[in-house]
Amino acid sequence: MFYVKYKELTRDFNFSEYLKKSDLPGYINHYILEDEQILSAYKTERDHGVFTDKKIVLFDNYSKQKIKKQIITIFYSSISTISVTFEIDRAEINILLDSGYPIHLNFIDVKPEDKVRLRLLYTCISRVVSGRTPLKKDVERLWNDEVNFK
């Protein structure tokens, strides 16, 4: 869970599907700045997560009737630690914010190309968190959805 002043902010996200940029709902573009580049996007049964070169935007439909939506923006500059774990058909990105709050992003039913995509995404985020610029070739591979096994 992710808490602010001991109040639950969101649950774990269990992303089950990679989304191509052309398949993103139109409203998501309202939360992406002009100078940002979308690296990758995922969805759960009712939620979305978008990773740009500067932040993560999580869209949490937290009512079963889909009448309430919470939008959470996590700037990479607020992340103190990030890790990735791979299993046979699952992956998890664990984030610890500077404030001490953990975030768990689970990826289920991952295929080999999803693992490559997540490895590239993790590398880009990790470089930004450590004060460096993501490698241009990694950003381009994510942007162009080139997740072959190079």
- pLDDT tens digit sequence for 38-58: 999 999 877 889 999 999 999
Let me know if 13 is exposed, middle or buried by CB neighbors in 10 A (0-12, 13-18, 19+).
buried
DSSP 83-122: EEEE-SSEEEEEEEETTS-EEEEEEES--HHHHHHHHHHH
- pLDDT tens digit sequence for 70-104: 888 999 999 999 999 999 999 999 999 998 888 89
pTM of the model: 0.86
pLDDT on residue 6:
45
Looking at the DSSP bridge assignments, the partners of residue 89 are none
CB atoms closer than 10 angstroms to residue 114: 21
**CATH numbers and ranges of domains, the chain:** 11-143 (2.30.29.50)
Q: What average pLDDT is seen over the chain?
A: 86
